[in-house]
Structure 1
Amino acid sequence: MDPQEQDFTGLSIEERLGHKVWKARLSAYEELIKEFETSPSEDDEIFTRFDVNTVKSFTIDSNVVAQETGILCVSKYLEFGPTNNAVRLQKSGVVSSLCEKGLSSSRAGTKTKTNECLMLLIERVDGNQVVQDMMPFFKHRLPKLVSGVVNSIYQIIDNFGCKIINPNPIIEYLPGLFSHADRNVRNEATNLTLEIYKWLRDGLKTVLLDDLKPIQKKDLEKAFDKVADEIPKQKRLLKSQKEVEEEAPTEDVEMEDTEVKPDFDPYDLLQPTDVLNQIPGDFQQRISNPVWKERKEVLEEVHAILSKASKLNPQDDYLDIMRIFTKCMKDANMQVVQLASECTAFLAIGLRKGFKKYYSMILVPMLERNKEKKPSFTEAINKSLDTIFKATSLSDVLEGVLSTMTHKTPAIKIAAIDYLTRCLSDSDVAPNNNEIESIMGVSVKLLSESQEPIRQAASQLIGTLMKIVGERQLIRYLEKVDDNRRKKINKFFEEANVKASSKGSNPPPKSIKPIQSTKIAPPSTIPSKRLATSPAKRPEKPSLRGLTSRNLTTNESIPKFSQQPQLQPKPEVDNSLLKELEELESKNKQLQDSHKLQINEIEKLKNDNLSLSRKLQESQSNSNITINQKDAQISRLNNDKENLLLKIKDLEQTIEIMKLNNDGPKIKTERNSGDLSLRVNRLSIGKDNDFKENIEYKKEPSVDFDNDDNWKKAQEITNQLRARIEKMKARSRPNFT
């Protein structure tokens, strides 16, 4: 009898599970499926009858038919069994078995059942751990297995979303999958990337696109545009979520609402990046280099690091690097300024609300760089400024922007006005009364500027603000504005697009022109100008009555539109509010004056410090020159001294020779005296006039030493010579001691 045709029903389940005939094992799987499905609860003994290693072996059955049923059996084991069994099964390595044997199968049913088994496992255990066990197969040598695993993870993300499954470990493998030789792998990688993009949006572009080839970037960008409007949602709940849903069914959120508004922030799904450890260690030194190319190169390195960080840790301290960027705003090279502004924008994107600690130091310097005429440069600066506003709020930037709106340079003034207009348009919150007062106080003054571009920008600013707070809120500020300028404000009011709105911001009826409602012409029966003329021409009270004896000055005779001013708030409310505003304005003015005094004092101290530094340098320079001159003089005197000593020594030797000649037998006096005269005539001590003396010796025509008189004369000359030498020594000695 063929073993395949035997009846295995008489064998126990354990015997059939270990049987060498695949049909026996198949029958065991089918019976277990029924028992799992009909079990009264997850505490039934059927779920503790087999250990996890036995259950794991169901997924790697050598027969493809039995294997498919075995994987289904494991799914039922997970679906109806306790969570503890699922945890133990996951730790036993069942995920690797399902991937290697199930996802690589050529049978579609086996793949479908394997994916369902993995989904059930994620519902009951840590889904990130399950995906972690699957990702090593991204680098498997078998393309069919790689594409199967990528497709499975795509289905997991599609069902559970990135709020349950952390996408960051998966993203690290995507560049390698896009470079895979197999087309199916690349296609599955594209599907997975698009699904992650629905959750992370631009955060995925930041960390992924730089690692791809240009053609891959281009194709992905097109694919991203197609799904840009899709709002992802979690389609499959975890077991814990199902239990909460069963306990509180009334708190369910309708699917339609979830589709309209996403209940997640892609920023929250990103992992913070530590960029401070990646900044070059010599950043401070290189950014201070006088060569602009060196400053540009180091900023490009920092730019590349910050551009890849979609989320930064707000607990880190970025104060030092922000100080460097602020200093770069005053750099003479525009490329350096632009790179620093873009780096600042990357910090604002990565920190979001955590950037509030740093914006104040760079906002005004960045606004002031709008004085440049190069459009691409100013466009980059304004883009960075808009990014800063998204990380802050209108209240945060208002003070710095208003101060820049009064700048003496027209281009900077216009740029600040335009920036505040964009901030008002993008703000989700309407400005409060104090902020409105501050904005209008500066803007109305700008309407009287001599240059039309400034007046035009101020008109647009006021029109945008009016769109938010309503025309009634701004009437009292525009009483002295001419009609032409009001028309332009009304035009910008109608064209403005804003996010925030407050009561009264709706457009007025067509029959009523906004703003101009306060200028109401008085009735012709009561000419106000004539009432102010002389008493002789002023009509008396009786003359104000008509034929019906009705008083023409009563409310009955005044047209209804003359009551328009009564629509304003009560006088006592206005007075208290105005009083409060005046006090605040006075305090603000005092603070501004104090701030200006402090700035002036600081500038004065800086100038004094600079002046003292220059004087100190000049003094040191003069001292060094004097010291050098003294050293040169001492050196020269020492040389003169040495020369003098040598001459004295030479003279002493001459005297000694003369003594010897005087004592010798019959010396020829004529030759010796002539030689002596020659030596004495050559003697000159020192270079100065005080030390110069020539010794002259009158040579006798002929001396006969045999004569006693002549000999005495020679002795006398010798004594005189000695006396002069001693005198010269005495005169030269005090100058060198």
Structure 2
Amino acid sequence: MSEDEKLLKEAKKFPWEDRLTHKNWKVRNDANIDLAAVCDSISDPKDPRLREFGPFFKKLVADSNAPVQEKALDALIAFLKAADADAGRYGKEVCDAIVAKCLTGRPKTVEKAQAAFMLWVELEAVDAFLDAMEKAIKNKVSKAVVPAIDVMFQALSEFGTKIVTPKRLLKMLPELFDHQDQNVRASSKGLTLELCRWIGKEPVKSILFEKMRDTMKKELEAELANATETAKPTRKIRSEQDKEPEVETASEVVGTGPAEGTVDDTPLEIDEYELVDPVEILTSLDKSGFWEGVKAAKWSERKGAVAELTKLASTKRIAPGDFSEVCRTLKKVVTQLFSGNFLF
């Protein structure tokens, strides 16, 4: 028996954490292979071993040794397939670690990282996934940005807007369209077209175009001309998958009609108002000198103050606040206007 074989045999007696963090990469590699095999064998998502394994992965996927990192991703994928939504508690740290260490790796590593992200979405850790994507698109290495956009495209395409929030994606796109790398911009177009399939062209154009350069608008406009607006999810989150056997049984008993409790996969109708962040305008009014201007003796200053209010209030969504004084002031302005004291 070789020295390596002796080392690996002896290491199998160690606790999981000691094996997975061992200084020898072959021991770590072997431990990840065993960890994946154990997770593959678990059929109960409440198995206590999953609670034990969960905290390991934030370090495992960040391994500096490329082959070991790949095996760690294999183990993570096996873990996520065995777990349920309770595993979401580890989502943020693990997704962040994947973004930091895996997206610039070997093609197979990137592919496995994307598969892991999709499983996090399947387990409803969508916020952790999208938070990580917001960090990924800021990576200085463009080859790490493209797989992040591609996995967002995949998540949206497979799960739909009921699971993957379009508002979060729309907030990321303007920055991506300004990226210096053409591959990033090309992937961003693909994600934009997929969004159009789910929520329609007009909401996407309305929100994106005001934040984009004219050259990019023209480019995207041409792409949007061929965009279709029909989409349907092809993949269910885990909690919905768990209901499927019961649904099928009910269908067999009742007949051919849809069973009660069947998941509605009709694309979600999106209100454009819900896609934009509310803008706080009261503070801006104070800073603009509105209150002094609207009470000024000169009609030109009053007119300028009202114009400033109009500009600020023309945003798509205004943040809640106490607008009682604004309303009282506008009432006075209207009264002055009709009495001839407010001349334009």
TM > 0.5 fold call: yes
On the 8 A contact 1:18/1:25 being kept in 2, the answer is yes
- TM-score w.r.t. length of structure 2: 0.74
Q: Aligned residue for 1:128?
A: 127
SS of equivalent to 2:225: helix
> What is the CA deviation profile of residues 537-562 of structure 1, one whole-angstrom value per residue up to 9, with x for unaligned ones?
xxxxxxxxxxxxxxxxxxxxxxxxxx
Distance 1:26 1:155 in 2: 29
Q: Aligned residue for 1:38?
A: 41
Mapping of 1:196-345 within 5 angstroms?
Answer: 196-197=195-196, 198-199=198-199, 201-227=201-227, 229-249=228-248, 250-251=259-260, 252=262, 258=266, 262-267=267-272, 269-271=274-276, 273-274=278-279, 277=282, 278=284, 281-282=290-291, 285=294, 290-291=299-300, 295=303, 301-309=308-316
On the 8 A contact 1:275/1:305 being kept in 2, the answer is no
Distance 1:132 1:47 in 2: 24
Equivalent of 1:29, from 27, 32, 36?
32
- TM-score w.r.t. length of structure 1: 0.38
SS of equivalent to 1:30: helix
> What is the CA deviation profile of residues 557-576 of structure 1, one whole-angstrom value per residue up to 9, with x for unaligned ones?
xxxxxxxxxxxxxxxxxxxx
Name the structure, 1 or 2, with higher relative contact order (CA <8 Å, separation 6+). 2
Q: Aligned residue for 2:62?
A: 60
Q: Aligned residue for 1:106?
A: 106
| CA displacement at 1:248 relative to structure 2 | 3.9
On the 8 A contact 2:273/2:316 being kept in 1, the answer is no
Q: Aligned residue for 1:158?
A: 157
Residues 1:95 and 2:95 are matched in the alignment: yes
Mapping of 1:481-492 within 5 angstroms?
Answer: none
SS of equivalent to 1:162: coil
Instruction: Letter of the 2:225 partner, please give it.
Output: D
For structure 1, the 5+ residue unaligned runs are 337-737
Instruction: Count how many residue pairs are aligned between Structure 1 and Structure 2.
Output: 321
| CA displacement at 1:17 relative to structure 2 | 2.9
Distance 2:321 2:51 in 1: 49
Q: 1:321 to 1:75 in 2, by over 3 A?
A: farther
On the 8 A contact 1:275/1:309 being kept in 2, the answer is no
Distance 2:242 2:57 in 1: 26
SS of equivalent to 1:34: helix
| CA displacement at 1:12 relative to structure 2 | 1.0
Distance 1:67 1:97 in 2: 11
| CA displacement at 1:64 relative to structure 2 | 2.0
Mapping of 1:684-703 within 5 angstroms?
Answer: none
Distance 1:241 1:320 in 2: 52
On the 8 A contact 2:20/2:28 being kept in 1, the answer is yes
Instruction: Letter of the 2:40 partner, please give it.
Output: E
On the 8 A contact 1:200/1:267 being kept in 2, the answer is no
Bigger radius of gyration among the two: 1
For structure 2, the 5+ residue unaligned runs are 249-258
Mapping of 1:514-525 within 5 angstroms?
Answer: none
Mapping of 1:644-655 within 5 angstroms?
Answer: none
CA RMSD of aligned residues (A): 4.0
Instruction: Letter of the 2:46 partner, please give it.
Output: D
Instruction: Letter of the 1:120 partner, please give it.
Output: L
> What is the CA deviation profile of residues 130-150 of structure 1, one whole-angstrom value per residue up to 9, with x for unaligned ones?
311331232222222233323
SS of equivalent to 1:139: coil
| CA displacement at 1:35 relative to structure 2 | 2.1
Distance 2:24 2:10 in 1: 15
Q: Aligned residue for 1:194?
A: 193
Instruction: Letter of the 2:79 partner, please give it.
Output: Y
| CA displacement at 1:120 relative to structure 2 | 1.6
Q: 1:100 to 1:311 in 2, by over 3 A?
A: same
Instruction: Letter of the 1:285 partner, please give it.
Output: V
Distance 2:59 2:205 in 1: 42
> What is the CA deviation profile of residues 479-508 of structure 1, one whole-angstrom value per residue up to 9, with x for unaligned ones?
xxxxxxxxxxxxxxxxxxxxxxxxxxxxxx
Mapping of 1:526-605 within 5 angstroms?
Answer: none
| CA displacement at 1:23 relative to structure 2 | 3.9
Q: Aligned residue for 1:73?
A: 75
Distance 1:59 1:103 in 2: 11
SS of equivalent to 1:226: coil
Distance 1:273 1:95 in 2: 28
Q: 1:321 to 1:6 in 2, by over 3 A?
A: farther
On the 8 A contact 1:175/1:208 being kept in 2, the answer is yes
Q: 1:325 to 1:120 in 2, by over 3 A?
A: farther
Q: 1:254 to 1:40 in 2, by over 3 A?
A: closer
Q: 1:176 to 1:8 in 2, by over 3 A?
A: same
On the 8 A contact 1:178/1:186 being kept in 2, the answer is yes
Q: Aligned residue for 2:180?
A: 181
| CA displacement at 1:88 relative to structure 2 | 3.5
On the 8 A contact 1:206/1:308 being kept in 2, the answer is no
Mapping of 1:422-441 within 5 angstroms?
Answer: none
